[in-house]
Structure 1
Amino acid sequence: MRFIDLERYLASKQFRLLPLYILLALGLLSAGANYWYLRDHAHNMARYYAEGIVRLINDARLWNAEHGGVYVPVSESTPPNPYLQIPHRDLVTLDGLELTMINPSYMTREIAEITRRQAGLVMHLTSARPINPGNRADEWEQQALVNLEQGRGSKLELVAVPEGMVFRYMSPLYIQPACLPCHQAYGYEEGDLRGGVSLVFPAAPHLAMVSSQINWMLFGHAIALVLIGSVTLSLLNRLQRQWQARQRLIDEQESTIAQRTQTLSSQMERYYTIINTAAEGYWEIDDQQRTAMVNEALCAMLEYDHEELMSRSPLDFVAGKNREILREQLQEREISRIRAFNITLKTKSGRDLHTRFHATSIFNEKHHFTGSFAFITDITELLEIRESAAAYALKLERSNKELEDFARVVSHDLQEPLRTMVSLGDRLLAKHAAGLDEKGRDYLSRMQDSASRMRQLIEDLRSYSREAHRKNQVMALVDLNEVLREVIADLEQRIGEQKARIEIDRLPTINADRSQLHRLFLNLVGNALKFQAEGNRPWVRVKLTKIDRKHVEIQVSDNGIGFEEKYLDRIFRPFQRLHGRGQYQGTGMGLAICKKIVENHHGEISARSTPGEGTNFSLTLPL
């Protein structure tokens, strides 16, 4: 449905009537379902009643059969059974009393006559092959007997008769061992279906038991429909008012977004101005190695116009070994985010231009590689003055300082709009969340998450830059035991939440920068807690494995998810992640910072790992 149609619908009467129609339909369906449930309950009660009667009849028949029949005096109501052809059917006592045998069938017919007179219960023995013509089945009983022969079990049915509604029930009769003396002569064997016991009894008493429940159920549904309908109508009216208020809020937001877009465009123009006025050359290429953007400084270096450089590959401006070096660096763009290398370019006049590239790869929000850019420093003069190493070092240091200043300025300028976005998002979420629909809140949440990740990425990049270019280290004797205690205190909450087990050996005192070592062990222990399988209790061991007069070797082991060792060359590079952000948070800078800290101390760091079994980081540091 288009937005304008939705707005028209929310303003119309159908907005309130359609939910009421749906509610009425649901109420009718519920009442119908409950009605049929109660009717089925009445049928079940009738079945239990019929099954109880049949059970008593069968027990009495079994007792009679097991005793070989019983003798009763011959009377008008109990004459000899002409269909019972057995010896000793009739007897005369010594005092002249005539007796006749009552078999199970005869006894059942006598009981049926009593129940018909006293309880209105009609009971009839019937069979597909009756011996007694009086046991011949009627049309309903014939169908019930067919069902029994097909193995469908007993049958209960509500039937209309001239006297009213009655239940008809048919239960099977099977040949039992006690029945064989009489029925074996007719070809029956144990377990054969002999026929059935048919019951007919009034339905009114059973239906009356649930009629009051049906009335109360219908009354309850009617009351519920009225109450729920009233509440629903009230809520719909309130929702309509909220929608109108939300529309006003959206209009205000669109105005604010337009203003922020204009501000962002102005800031982008500012960044372009900074790039174009920078002393270093700026060269941006796409994923196909085609030039997408250059600044004036690079044009001046290569002696080409801006149009002459666009869409050309950097490989067009190198020759010999430099071409192979540059081709290798271009192939590394998708693997390593940040690279620095020296290359000699050819200017338009054929002059050699010795440069230093500081290259950065660009990835989109789906982590797909889209291109790269590089700040290029002309180091021709420095290479030509080989005899003046001090001058060369000074100029290179100045160039790096300018790049650091530029990165710091860009980082500051990038974080300012991010802070504004997060602040506005927090205010919008706190004050207007109720006015946003689910999609609006989702967009707002995703915007805040993206801004937070960008801010963390900038902060990690600055941390890495600081460690990579740190010169004034505060070297002093550092007790590693105190450093580890501080690290464990910093991670105390996470350790408690994960119920982690931490084991730390007694460690020595070394000459180092205390703050850097704190960051080193904080990253390693923090990674050990983070990269864990769901439900696994973390275990971290900091072990002293070797110490001599010059060096100390320390291992940090865990029982985490581990990784395949073919990725060892990647894990210490900046922005390298082996897992998606949806699995584990982070920017991929932690181990790169650890490596820089160890290198600042003239040490070494390596790792061994097995997927699913954990990781072991080995540190070698000078004493």
Structure 2
Amino acid sequence: MLTAQSGDFTGEDPVSGEKSLIHFEKIPGMEWRVVVSQAEERLNEPLYAIWSLIVQLALLSVAVMLTFGLSWLQTIRNYHRQRQEAGEHIRMILATASDAFISIDSEGRVLDWNRQAELIFGWSREEARGKIMAELILPPGHRAPHAEGLRRYIATGEGPILNRRIELTALRRDGREFPVELTVWPLREGGTVRFNAFLRDISERRKSQQLLVEKTTELARSQAELEQLELFAFVASHDLQEPLHKILAFSEMLGSSREGLDEKGRQYLDRMSAAALHLSGMIEQLRQFSRIGTHERSFGPVELDELAKEVFADLEPLVQEAGAEIRVGELPTIEADRPQMKQLFQNLVSNALKFRREGSRPLVEISGRHTEPGWVEVRVSDNGIGFEPRYLDRIFKPFQRLHPASRYKGSGIGLAICEKVAMRHGGKITAEGRPQEGSTFIVTLPVYQKGLP
């Protein structure tokens, strides 16, 4: 078989004994031959290697494509889920909003209508959807301008009320008109446009505004009346002084000749003198009342506990006469007009001593405390005759008396002076009381006056 120059044959490899493909070539000039064999089972190994590589690359490509595809699909799912969650969140916000939310299309038909819109206007969401919004919530006179505004925006992209907060009149299902605050904004989606709006019922706000206007007008009127009263008090306190002085002078002259008068004449003289003295006291009170707020005085630090001691020292004869017990607690220091603050204290303590209850020892207490930063409260309490709470507004008005002057002497202007002093200091005064259970006057004052530290 190996006698030929060269050749191929299939046979048993003499070395390995494997069935092989054998190729031989004769060496030129020699009888020797070169033999090469390859086992048949290993003949296709390179092809298998190439095929395996191709398959592996294909599988890797498929795996990469599948991995990318799955990741892309997961991204798409997450995006849609997030949009759905965001949409649900927005729907929840709109459903629970304290304002009505209404959405309409370019024809004015309702697309969305939240719970608050149901409560405000009286139409359910199912009833409102698909209906012309203007026919549901706008008074007839406002519907044509609304339709014209829609057409103008669709044609020009302009709308005078868009993206602004405005107030207008709306209509409830039962036909009642009421004011609302409205904010509208357009939203374009593809080739369509919708209009979203938040509406708030401002009926209570309008009532509050009207009440504020009425109170402001009333305050201005009261201020004008007070200024007139102050002017009258100022003029009266001056113009009455001269004739009153003459009356008192003639009373004294007649008093020096009392022996020449009979009993009735002496009684008339005593009554005239007493009346003239009472009138003199009223004129002085009027003068003090008119001067509060008209004479500018510098505010300065006032130790209220020291001031209270001065007041009780000045009223010592009255305290001794009444046999009163006095208690003064710790009082704060404030910025105040000292003479006017002393007048306030003196009037309150005098009232407490004057309106005492028969059969019991008078007790007057003064206490103070800081109620909040920058403010103090001073209380003047007694165990006297008290007053009916329904008369609280009267007791601070000039010349308003709850008791006859024959029983309790006074001008009827002392508490009015106290109120004016408190107001001049930027504070207020009020009172609590019950008949035969005593009274407590509460003065609230700022620690510092405006412009002072």
TM-score, normalization by structure 1: 0.35
TM-score, normalization by structure 2: 0.48
Structure 1 or 2: larger helix share? 1
Answer with 1 or 2: which has the greater Rg.
2
